[in-house]
Structure 1
Amino acid sequence: MHIEQGFQQVPFQEENPYSRDPVLPFLLRRLFPPRLFNEEIEPALEKFGEEVITGIRAQSKGNRISPPELIQYDNWGRRIDELQTSEGWRSLKATAQREGLPGIFYERRYREHSRLFGFAKALMMVGDSYEVFCPLSMTDGAARVLELVGTESMRREIFPRLISRDPSTALVAGQWMTERPGGSDVSQTETEAQSLGDGDSLGPRYSLDGFKWFSSATDGDVALALARTGPADRGSRGLSLFLIPLREMSPHLSSSTNGIRVHRLKNKIGTHALPTAELSLEQTTAYLIGTLNEGVKTIVPVLNITRVWSAISSVGALRRCLAIAIAYAEVRKIDGGKRLLKDVPVHVAQLASINLVYRALTHLVFGTVMTLGRVECGTASREEEHRLRMFTPIVKGFAAEKAVTAMEEAMTALGGQGYMEENEIGRLIRDSLVEKIWEGTTTVLSLDLLRSTSEPARLKEFISWSNSIILSCPPSLLKGVQDAIQALQGRLDSLIAAFLHPIPNLIARPSLIFMGYIASAIFLLEHANWSHSRGEDGYEVDAEVFRRWVNDGGFVAAEHELVRIRSEVKIADTSNSTIVFGRKVQTKL
Structure 2
Amino acid sequence: MIRTHEVSNQVPAREGLDEFAVNAPLVEAVAKWGTDASSARLGAAGRLVGSAAFQRDAEHANTRPPVLHSHDRWGRRIDEVEYDDSYHRIIGAAVAAGAHTSAWAEPAPGANVDRAAAFMLFAQIEPGHACPVSMTHAAVPTLRLGAQGLVDDWMPRLLSREYEPALGTSASPKRSALLGMAMTEKQGGSDVRANTTVAEVTGDDDRWGRRVSITGHKWFCSAPMSDAFLVLAQTPAGLSCVFVPRVLPDGTRNEFRIQRLKDKLGNRSNASSEIELDGTTGWIVGEEGRGVATIVQMVTHTRLDCVLGSAAGMRQAVAEAAWHVRHRAAFGSLLVDQPAMRAVVADLALESEAATWTAMRLARAYDDEDASEQAFRRLATAVAKYWVCKRGPQHAYEALECLGGNGYTEAWPLARRYREQPLLAIWEGSGNVIALDLLRVLGREPEAYEAFFAVVGAAEGRHAAFDAALAEAKALVRELARSLADDPSGATAALRARELAERLGLVLQASLMLEHAPGEASAVFCDSRLGGRGFSQYGALPAGADLGAILARA
Q: Report the CA distance between 1:369 and its aligned residue.
A: 1.2
The corresponding residue for 1:243 is 243
Q: Report the CA distance between 1:186 and its aligned residue.
A: 0.9
Provide, for residues 20-78 of structure 1, a one-character-per-residue CA deviation record: whole Å limited to 9, x for no partner. Answer: 21411222222247xx2xxx222332232111111532433557852111122333433
Q: Which of 480, 484, 500 in structure 2 is aligned with 1:499?
A: 480
The corresponding residue for 2:549 is none
The corresponding residue for 1:27 is 29
Is residue 367 of structure 1 aligned with residue 361 of structure 2?
yes
The normalised TM-score by structure 1 is 0.83
Q: Aligned letter for 2:530?
A: V
Decide whether the 8 Å contact of 1:364 with 1:523 is kept in 2.
yes
Q: Which ranges in structure 2 are unaligned for 5 or more consecutive residues? A: 165-174, 485-492, 538-554
CA gap of 1:64–1:498, structure 2 versus 1, over 3 A, is closer
Distance 1:97 1:6 in 2: 40
Provide, for residues 448-478 of structure 1, a one-character-per-residue CA deviation record: whole Å limited to 9, x for no partner. Answer: 111111144443443344334425xxxxxx4
CA gap of 1:306–1:264, structure 2 versus 1, over 3 A, is same
Distance 1:22 1:133 in 2: 23
Q: Report the CA distance between 1:415 and its aligned residue.
A: 1.1
The corresponding residue for 1:262 is 258
CA gap of 1:10–1:115, structure 2 versus 1, over 3 A, is same
Distance 2:60 2:459 in 1: 49
Distance 2:109 2:421 in 1: 28
Residue 513 of structure 1: SS of its match in structure 2?
A: helix
Q: Which of 458, 468, 471 in structure 2 is aligned with 1:490?
A: 471
The corresponding residue for 1:114 is 111
Q: State percent identity of aligned pairs.
A: 28
Decide whether the 8 Å contact of 2:9 with 2:329 is kept in 1.
no
1:145-164 pair list within 5 angstroms: 145-147=142-144, 149-164=145-160
Decide whether the 8 Å contact of 1:314 with 1:404 is kept in 2.
no
Residue 184 of structure 1: SS of its match in structure 2?
A: coil
Distance 1:24 1:297 in 2: 33
Q: Which of 289, 296, 310 in structure 2 is aligned with 1:293?
A: 289
The corresponding residue for 2:384 is 395
Q: Aligned letter for 1:466?
A: V
Distance 1:552 1:253 in 2: 64
Q: Which of 449, 462, 465 in structure 2 is aligned with 1:459?
A: 449
Decide whether the 8 Å contact of 2:466 with 2:507 is kept in 1.
no
Provide, for residues 193-222 of structure 1, a one-character-per-residue CA deviation record: whole Å limited to 9, x for no partner. Answer: 111111222112111111111100211110
Distance 1:386 1:553 in 2: 31
Distance 1:486 1:438 in 2: 33
The corresponding residue for 1:560 is none
Is residue 346 of structure 1 aligned with residue 321 of structure 2?
no
CA gap of 1:183–1:524, structure 2 versus 1, over 3 A, is same
Q: Which of 68, 80, 87 in structure 2 is aligned with 1:70?
A: 68
The corresponding residue for 1:91 is 89
Q: Aligned letter for 2:123?
A: V
Decide whether the 8 Å contact of 1:498 with 1:507 is kept in 2.
no
Distance 1:68 1:6 in 2: 36
Distance 2:451 2:305 in 1: 25
Q: Hey, which of these two has a bigger chunk of helix by percent?
A: 1
The corresponding residue for 1:566 is none
Distance 2:378 2:23 in 1: 29
Larger radius of gyration, structure 1 or 2?
1
Residue 78 of structure 2: SS of its match in structure 1?
A: strand
Distance 1:143 1:464 in 2: 30
Distance 2:275 2:7 in 1: 55
Q: Report the CA distance between 1:17 and its aligned residue.
A: 1.8
Residue 319 of structure 2: SS of its match in structure 1?
A: helix
Decide whether the 8 Å contact of 1:356 with 1:549 is kept in 2.
no
Residue 405 of structure 2: SS of its match in structure 1?
A: helix
CA gap of 1:6–1:243, structure 2 versus 1, over 3 A, is closer
Q: Aligned letter for 2:30?
A: L
Q: Report the CA distance between 1:547 and its aligned residue.
A: 4.4
Distance 1:246 1:273 in 2: 21
Provide, for residues 457-500 of structure 1, a one-character-per-residue CA deviation record: whole Å limited to 9, x for no partner. Answer: 443443344334425xxxxxx4xx3x334423432344335424
The corresponding residue for 2:10 is 9
Q: Aligned letter for 2:453?
A: I
Distance 2:43 2:522 in 1: 22
The corresponding residue for 1:185 is 191
Provide, for residues 314-347 of structure 1, a one-character-per-residue CA deviation record: whole Å limited to 9, x for no partner. Answer: 1101110110001111110122xx4111111211
Residue 131 of structure 1: SS of its match in structure 2?
A: coil
Q: Aligned letter for 2:231?
A: A
Decide whether the 8 Å contact of 1:517 with 1:555 is kept in 2.
no
The corresponding residue for 2:171 is none
Could you tell which deviates more after superposition, 487-496 or 399-408? 487-496
Is residue 511 of structure 1 aligned with residue 493 of structure 2?
no
Distance 1:352 1:178 in 2: 40
The corresponding residue for 2:313 is 317
Residue 292 of structure 1: SS of its match in structure 2?
A: coil
CA gap of 1:191–1:407, structure 2 versus 1, over 3 A, is same
Decide whether the 8 Å contact of 1:89 with 1:132 is kept in 2.
yes
Residue 72 of structure 1: SS of its match in structure 2?
A: strand
Aligned residues: 515
Structure 1 vs Structure 2 CA RMSD: 2.3
Decide whether the 8 Å contact of 2:375 with 2:447 is kept in 1.
no
Decide whether the 8 Å contact of 2:34 with 2:109 is kept in 1.
no
Decide whether the 8 Å contact of 1:100 with 1:165 is kept in 2.
yes
Decide whether the 8 Å contact of 1:342 with 1:348 is kept in 2.
yes
Residue 202 of structure 1: SS of its match in structure 2?
A: coil
Q: Aligned letter for 2:252?
A: S
Is residue 550 of structure 1 aligned with residue 530 of structure 2?
yes
Q: Report the CA distance between 1:81 and its aligned residue.
A: 2.3
Is residue 223 of structure 1 aligned with residue 226 of structure 2?
no
Decide whether the 8 Å contact of 2:180 with 2:228 is kept in 1.
yes
CA gap of 1:509–1:488, structure 2 versus 1, over 3 A, is closer
Q: Aligned letter for 1:501?
A: R
1:414-563 pair list within 5 angstroms: 414-455=403-444, 456-470=446-460, 478=462, 481=463, 483-503=464-484, 504-528=493-517, 538-551=518-531, 553-554=533-534
Residue 198 of structure 1: SS of its match in structure 2?
A: coil
CA gap of 1:81–1:353, structure 2 versus 1, over 3 A, is same
Is residue 328 of structure 1 aligned with residue 324 of structure 2?
yes
Distance 2:84 2:533 in 1: 44
CA gap of 1:254–1:42, structure 2 versus 1, over 3 A, is closer
Q: Report the CA distance between 1:549 and its aligned residue.
A: 4.2
Provide, for residues 262-299 of structure 1, a one-character-per-residue CA deviation record: whole Å limited to 9, x for no partner. Answer: 11111111111211111111111101111111111000
Residue 501 of structure 1: SS of its match in structure 2?
A: helix
Distance 2:506 2:522 in 1: 16
